[in-house]
């Protein structure tokens, strides 16, 4: 990851009204740690439900002032597809972090790492 790419992510996170964190399954610990650490900087972060209507309830409140940070490891989950689709409608930024060199629909994220 280049320094410029990292700076874009930092700027997006620090200027967001709310940072929603989607980190399902084995990635859940990453969300908890990030929320804990970033709260020290006064950021407003919210962990999203892993699936179902609770996920949709959270998405309903996201708007163009917000950022969704998505941890998408191994495979593209249907929930991540919903987040990416909704991002285009609601016009919020999506930062996608993955462990794959090629990730389906990565082009739909604003920032991809």
d(CA 77, CA 85): 13
Could you read off the pLDDT of 57-81 as tens digits, one per residue?
Answer: 999 999 999 999 999 887 889 999 9
Provide the Cα torsion 39, 41, 43, 45; round to 10°. -30
What is the pLDDT averaged over residues 28-49? 94
Domains and CATH numbers, the chain: 3-112 (3.40.50.10490)
Q: Tokens representing 48?
A: 């999203």
Pairing verdict, β 67-71 and 19-22: parallel
For the four alpha carbons of 100, 38, 22 and 2, in that order, the dihedral sign comes to: negative
> What integer pLDDT is reported at residue 113 of this predicted model?
87
Q: 4 in the Ramachandran plot: left (φ > 0), alpha (ψ -120 to 50) or beta? A: alpha
What is the pLDDT averaged over residues 31-48? 94
């Amino acid at each position: 990851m280049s320094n410029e790419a990292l700076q874009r992510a930092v700027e997006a996170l620090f200027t967001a009204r709310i940072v929603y964190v989607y980190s399902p399954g084995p990635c859940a610990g990453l969300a908890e740690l990030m929320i804990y650490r970033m709260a020290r900087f006064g950021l407003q972060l919210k962990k999203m439900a892993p699936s179902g209507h609770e996920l949709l309830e959270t998405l309903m409140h996201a708007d163009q002032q917000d950022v969704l940070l998505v941890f998408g490891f191994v495979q593209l989950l249907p929930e991540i597809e919903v987040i990416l689709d909704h991002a285009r409608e609601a016009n919020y930024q999506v930062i996608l972090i993955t462990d794959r060199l090629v990730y389906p629909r990565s082009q739909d994220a604003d920032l991809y790492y």
